[in-house]
Structure 1
Amino acid sequence: MGLFRRKVADGYRNSSAVLSFNHDGLEVARVKNRSRHLPLWHFIFFIYLALLIRLVVAADIGTSGYEARLAEMRDGNVLERAAARVMRMDPVSQEIATKLRSGLSFLEGRVLDRDG
Structure 2
Amino acid sequence: MSIDTGFDKRVDRIVRTHDRIRRNGVVHRVGKDGLIVTRPRVARPRFPLRGVLVVVLLGFAFKGLLWAQIGAAGYNDRVERLRQGTVIEKAGAWLLQEDAVTIWIGQQTRPYLRR
Q: 1:63: Cα distance to partner?
A: 1.2
SS of the equivalent of 2:85 reads coil
Residues 26-77 of structure 1: per-residue CA shift (max 9 Å, x gap): xxxxx88987755110100110010000001111111111101100100011
Which residue of 55, 58, 71 maps to 2:67?
A: 58
- Greater Rg by CA: 2
**In 1, distance between residues paired with 2:49 and 2:59?**
16
Closer, same or farther: CA 48–96 of 1 in aligned 2, 3 Å: closer
Runs of 4+ in 1 over 6 A off after TM superposition: 31-36
* Residue 112 of structure 2: aligned partner: 104
- TM-score, normalised to structure 1, is 0.57
- TM-score, normalised to structure 2, is 0.57
Closer, same or farther: CA 57–33 of 1 in aligned 2, 3 Å: farther
- Give aligned pairs, total: 84
* Backbone CA RMSD of aligned residues: 3.2
Structure 2 counterpart of 1:86, which letter? L
Greater helix proportion: 2
